[in-house]
């Protein structure tokens, strides 16, 4: 049976580009703003954004202004590729790319262009990169098992593997671009780090740009 890209890879419901753009703009201006919160344990481990009433307010009148924003996420720094490059990479040996339809990969590649407006606002970038991309499956299993112990709910091991299958193409298609540096020429010199980590999550190598 042909396997389609999953909703998780598309980021639907978890990646709200207009909200992120508005949030970063408000933070840069020192304006009062609510910081969105996320509950990873919701919907049996699928996760969901919590109600806006639960978001934390920052930069309120009389409060210290936010000076530094750390934005973390698995696809932060991904930049879209020329479509011919997507076609080329899908034909190469891979963990998951060959299981996804080319039109789905191209659709996500086009959607990544929306992220670039956010990426271009970064002043510095740190990339935590696994020595072996396959470690991602093992780390995600460990994370979900800990979540089940803590909250009594979450994805089963098989659900985790299917979940990771859905976003593994992100590493296989766009990971190399992140390894080469994300910030635009002239802006990122001396402001980018690539931390290569082993299975034990310890840093094996530090690459400076």
Buried b (16+ CB within 10 A) or exposed e, 164-174: bbbbbbbbbbb
Residue 1 maps to a domain:
no
The per-residue pLDDT for 100 is: 87
The per-residue pLDDT for 49 is: 84
List the chain residues with pLDDT less than 50. 1-13
* CB-neighbour burial class of residue 149 (10 A; exposed 0-12, middle 13-18, buried 19+): exposed
Contacts of 172 (CB under 8 A, 6+ apart): 89, 94, 95, 96, 97, 133
The per-residue pLDDT for 9 is: 41
CATH number at residue 19: 3.40.50.300
The per-residue pLDDT for 188 is: 66
**Reported pTM:** 0.79
Phi, psi (rounded to 5 degrees) for 60: -70, 160
Residue 2 maps to a domain:
no
The per-residue pLDDT for 5 is: 36
User: Which residue range(s) make up the domain with 53?
Assistant: 7-208
Residue 68 maps to a domain:
yes
Residue 157 maps to a domain:
yes
Contacts of 175 (CB under 8 A, 6+ apart): 129, 133
Dump pLDDT digits (tens) for 126-185.
999 999 999 999 999 999 999 889 888 888 999 999 989 988 999 999 999 999 999 987
**What is the rounded distance in angstroms from the CA atom of residue 95 to the CA atom of residue 206?**
26
Total number of domains in the chain: 1
């Amino acid at each position: 049976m042909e396997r389609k890209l999953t909703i998780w890879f598309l980021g639907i419901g978890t990646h709200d580009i207009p909200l992120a753009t508005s949030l970063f703009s408000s933070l840069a201006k020192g304006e009062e703003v609510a910081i969105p919160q996320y509950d990873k344990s919701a919907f049996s481990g699928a996760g969901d954004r919590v109600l806006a009433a639960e978001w934390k307010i920052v930069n309120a009148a009389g409060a210290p202004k936010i000076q530094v924003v750390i934005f973390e996420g698995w696809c932060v720094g991904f930049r879209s590729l020329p479509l011919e490059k997507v076609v080329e990479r899908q034909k190469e040996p891979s963990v998951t790319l060959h299981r996804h339809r080319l039109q789905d990969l191209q659709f996500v590649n086009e959607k990544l262009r929306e992220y670039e407006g956010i990426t271009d606002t970064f002043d510095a970038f740190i990339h935590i990169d696994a020595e072996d991309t396959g470690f991602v499956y093992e780390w995600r299993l460990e994370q979900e098992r800990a979540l089940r112990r803590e909250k009594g709910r979450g994805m089963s091991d098989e659900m985790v593997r299917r979940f990771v299958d859905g976003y593994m193409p992100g590493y296989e298609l766009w990971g190399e671009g992140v390894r080469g540096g994300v910030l635009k020429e002239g802006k990122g010199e001396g402001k980018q780090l690539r931390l290569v980590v082993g299975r034990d999550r310890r840093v094996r190598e530090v690459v400076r740009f």
